[in-house]
Amino acid sequence: MGKVLLFVDDLFFRAKIAETARHMGVELEAANSVDSLVEMALTSPNESGSAGTRTALILVDLNARGNPVDALDRLKTAGNQTPVIAFLSHVQTELAERARAAGCSEIMPRSKFTQELAAILGRVKT
């Protein structure tokens, strides 16, 4: 089992995600900036025995400050293989396409992300 790396700057929403993760027994680590997101994702231990817990999933709020799409693009350029699930307002189709081009595995409206949060975090446990 790995951990989930989270980039959400809405503190109330971050707390909701953290509480759900805690109830499910999923380790969650939050990045506070796009730079820390990139650094944390790229320094995650690998599956071949590095110390620490491997990042199994990255969750990104595309409306967070600091240009999260740029961070996704930097991760893609660096060869990131960790699945990335991003969420945004359902009307932001251009932003969704930019995130997809930057290597985002799955993009969904924030409302759907909220409804499916437990199932999304459950992917890490299997």
What are the pLDDT digits (tens) for 83-122?
999 999 877 888 889 999 998 999 999 999 999 999 999 9
Q: Nearest 10 degrees: CA dihedral of 112, 110, 87, 21?
A: -80
Which residues span the domain enclosing 73?
Answer: 3-125
> Among 4-8, 14-18, 52-56, whose mean pLDDT is lowest?
52-56
- How many domains is the chain partitioned into structurally? 1
Q: What is the pTM of this model?
A: 0.90
The whole-angstrom distance between residue 119's C-alpha and the CA centroid of its chain comes to 14
Q: What CATH number corresponds to the domain at position 51?
A: 3.40.50.2300
Percent of the chain surpassing pLDDT 90: 75
For residues 69-78, average pLDDT:
94
